[in-house]
Amino acid sequence: MIPPIPPKPANLADPAPDFPWPAGKRCAVIPAFDVDAESPWLIMDPKNVDRLVTLSFGGYEARVGVPKILEHLRSIELKATFFTPGWTVENHTKSCESLLKAGHELAHHGYLHKWIDPDDYPTEVDEMDRGIEAHERVLGLRPRGYRPPAATSSERTIELVADRGFLYCSVMLDDVNPNRHVLKDGRPGPVDIPFWWTLDDSMVSLYSLSLPRPIATSQQIYDLWVEEFDAIYDWGATYHLLLHPQIIGRPGRLAMLRRLLEYIQGHSGVWFATCEEVANFWIKKEKGQGAKAKKGARR
Ligand SMILES: [Zn+2]
């Protein structure tokens, strides 16, 4: 028998409004990286702490991936957002400090990258609070944005993000532009910066014996990401790259990313921005629209 499942909208917010990007810009491009390091491998199976080869997948980030990505971003004068689990902050502090020193944004990405279980709210809260605590204690910064590990969530995730005072989150898949969450009690929630799997490198390039997937060629990934960019540019929407230093930081993949960013930079009217910059801009616009509406009401 099929159990009764009442219809429940996942997102109470209206679809993202059409709004102009900053003057002269027609779309936003966000280079974002999830600095998971060894955390997903440890949470997947705690015994992996003794499987040094498995761990070395994540260890590639601090040794090679992050420095190479930093070098590249510096060479093209681009700032990015790095969603970082608290465990990474504690165990790869120097690597995180190098990101901050280069002027990039660090945002929250759980503590040990534990997937959110809708039936285990206390652990969801613990992951959230330990992640915040690690950023504050080790790096002296309070992250402004949050992305849950592996796109997992519960019915209370957005409320938790709002309660902890985040400016924005990157949780939903149901839009092509930022929009503001509406909490169940009608209060405004954080701004959401949506993403989609086609721009996630792990979908096309993450391989391990425990996660066997076809490995796409760099040219296939380039073609996919250019195709997405062309359409998003046409729509005037948000191109949100979701990358992982342990995946995109491999030599051939990074060469492809370099080529892709050159292609995008060859277009006029592209606004390269961090997630925080996009959220702040969106809020500024929202306030402007509110002021206009009030003015209209007085007439
Ligand atoms: Zn992650």
Q: How far is the CA of 85 from the centre of ligand 1 (A)?
A: 8
Give 168's contacts (C-beta < 8 A, 6+ positions apart): 144, 145, 146, 178, 190, 191, 192, 193, 275, 276, 278, 279
201-251 pLDDT per residue, tens: 999 999 887 788 889 999 999 999 999 999 999 999 999 999 999 999 999
Q: How far is the CA of 2 from the centre of ligand 1 (A)?
A: 34
What token pair was written down for 133?
A: 């605590």
Q: How far is the CA of 6 from the centre of ligand 1 (A)?
A: 31
Q: How far is the CA of 81 from the centre of ligand 1 (A)?
A: 13
Q: How far is the CA of 230 from the centre of ligand 1 (A)?
A: 26
pLDDT at 107 over 50: yes
When the pLDDT of each residue in the chain is averaged and rounded to a whole number, the result is 93
Average pLDDT on 252-271 reads 98
Q: How far is the CA of 62 from the centre of ligand 1 (A)?
A: 15
Q: Which residues surround ligand 1, an ion (CB under 5 A)?
A: 34, 36
Q: How far is the CA of 165 from the centre of ligand 1 (A)?
A: 21
Beta-ladder partners of 272: 29
pLDDT at 297 over 60: no
pTM above 0.85, yes or no: yes
For residues 80 and 248, is the Cβ–Cβ distance under 8 A?
no
- Residue 298 pLDDT grade (very low, low, confident, very high; cuts 50, 70, 90): very low
Q: How far is the CA of 233 from the centre of ligand 1 (A)?
A: 27
Q: How far is the CA of 149 from the centre of ligand 1 (A)?
A: 5
Q: How far is the CA of 112 from the centre of ligand 1 (A)?
A: 10
**pLDDT for res 214:** 87
Q: How far is the CA of 113 from the centre of ligand 1 (A)?
A: 6
pLDDT at 271 over 50: yes
**Three-state secondary structure of the chain:** CCCCCCCCCCCCCCCCCCCCCCCCCCEEEEEEEECCCCHHHHHHCHHHHHCHHHHHHHHHHHHHHHHHHHHHHHHCCCCCEEEECHHHHHHCHHHHHHHHHCCCEEEECCCCCCCCCCCCHHHHHHHHHHHHHHHHHHHCCCCCEECCHHHCCCCCHHHHHHHCCCCEECCCCCCCCCEEEECCCCCEEEEECCCCHHHEHHHHHCCECCECCCCCCHHHHHHHHHHHHHHHHHHCCEEEEEECHHHHCCHHHHHHHHHHHHHHHCCCCEEECCHHHHHHHHHHHHHHHHHHHHHHHHC
Average pLDDT on 186-214 reads 91
123-143 pLDDT per residue, tens: 999 999 999 999 999 999 999
Q: How far is the CA of 24 from the centre of ligand 1 (A)?
A: 33
**pLDDT for res 197:** 94
Type of residue found at 89: V
**pLDDT for res 15:** 85
Q: How far is the CA of 243 from the centre of ligand 1 (A)?
A: 9
How large a percentage of the chain has pLDDT more than 70? 96
Q: How far is the CA of 36 from the centre of ligand 1 (A)?
A: 5
Q: How far is the CA of 109 from the centre of ligand 1 (A)?
A: 7
- Residue 291 pLDDT grade (very low, low, confident, very high; cuts 50, 70, 90): low
Q: How far is the CA of 297 from the centre of ligand 1 (A)?
A: 46
Average pLDDT on 146-159 reads 95
62-98 pLDDT per residue, tens: 999 999 999 999 999 999 999 999 999 999 999 999 9
Average pLDDT on 264-292 reads 90
Q: How far is the CA of 217 from the centre of ligand 1 (A)?
A: 22
Domains, the chain, in order of start with CATH, read: 26-290 (3.20.20.370)
- Residue 292 pLDDT grade (very low, low, confident, very high; cuts 50, 70, 90): low
Largest CA distance in the chain: 71
Out of 71-85, 171-185, 280-294, least confident range: 280-294
14-53 pLDDT per residue, tens: 888 776 799 999 999 999 999 999 999 999 999 999 999 9
- Residue 296 pLDDT grade (very low, low, confident, very high; cuts 50, 70, 90): very low
Q: How far is the CA of 244 from the centre of ligand 1 (A)?
A: 8
